[in-house]
Amino acid sequence: MKKNMGTTDKAIRVIIAIGIALLYYFDIIQGTLAYILMALAIIFLLTSFIGFCPLYKPFGINTCRTKK
């Protein structure tokens, strides 16, 4: 698995995941929407920790800086 996520991309994903968790914690989101968004938050955290997003590969997206 070659890394395809840059530092900024990882940081944005973590911030979004924290925001979703806070929305759930303060009961702003509930029910099915809350479960779907929490699953998305977990996926964002996992992909940011490993540095690889499977959806980027088919589209050829790479936000990781390359050394020249």
Mean pLDDT of 8-13: 96
Looking at the predicted structure, is the pLDDT value of residue 65 above 90?
no
Residue 67 domain flag: no
Q: How many domains does the chain have?
A: 1
Position 2 scores a pLDDT of: 87
Residue 17 domain flag: yes
pTM for the full model? 0.88
Cα(40)–Cα(46) distance, rounded to whole angstroms?
Answer: 10
Cα(9)–Cα(53) distance, rounded to whole angstroms?
Answer: 10
Range of the domain at 17: 7-59
Residue 66 domain flag: no
Residue 32 domain flag: yes
Model confidence over 26-43: pLDDT tens digits?
999 999 999 999 999 999
